[in-house]
Chains A and B, each alone.
Chain A
């Protein structure tokens, strides 16, 4: 079974600074995908960034980048130049190549301080 671990239940970050959210995963599959979602207090799930297990380059999307270390089975999210609107829950998720199920980590709550 796949397992996603997010060890940081909550984090404070100063506005305009960068923050790294940890995510480690456990799978015996060779082909899989890793996702990060943001969940504001409104409850919606907003897709941020995707990394395929065979992608050689780390994914980037605007202020979001994914530090993918396949050998260590980690997929950390880096948010640069934090903004007040970044305050939210962040979830790491994984999907096997075979199957459609997304498995989520426990989430990390980020609070950006002005």
Chain B
């Protein structure tokens, strides 16, 4: 299975600021995914990031608020822009394992609190 790391693991930020979350994988992967998990809720897909193309955003998520970069096959960043307390969540990146069925492996998550 892929080993995925995320930075930072947690952060406390002021409203109106932006935070960039990094996701690093120990092997080359085609697809990376960013999820949000609001307190007490399930996971919701924000966007899919393929190397060399623009990220594909899910309904309710826009590039201006959650810009994503995917400069190579092992790395991606998600920026949470102009934050408000409603952005307080766990943000998780995941990768397609390449196994049949589409299994995704997840990073450890970034726990964000916005004051």
Contacts and interface: CB of A to CB of B under 8 A. Distances in A.
Interface residues of A, number: 20
A100 B90 contact: no
Contacts of B94: 45, 102
B103 A35 contact: yes
Interface string B60-95: 000000000000000000000000000000101010
Contacts of B1: 47
| Majority-rule SS of A interface residues | strand
B43 interface: yes
Contacts of A35: 101, 103
Contacts, number: 57
Interface in A72-100: 91, 95, 100
A68 to B, nearest CB: 13
B101 A95 contact: yes
B45 to A, nearest CB: 6
Contact of B42 (A33, A100, A107): A107
Given A33-B102, A50-B103, A104 B108 contact: no
Contacts of A100: 31, 33, 48, 96, 102
B111 interface: yes
B37 to A, nearest CB: 8
A43 interface: yes
A102 to B, nearest CB: 6
A50 B104 CA distance: 11
B100 interface: yes
B97 to A, nearest CB: 9
A91 B43 contact: yes
Given A33-B101, A52-B101, A45 B42 contact: no
Contact of A43 (B33, B44, B104, B109): B109
A59 to B, nearest CB: 10
Contact of B108 (A42, A101, A107): A42
Given A101-B45, A102-B45, A43 B101 contact: no
A52 B100 CA distance: 9
Interface of B: 1, 31, 33, 37, 41-45, 48, 58, 90, 92, 94, 96, 100-109, 111
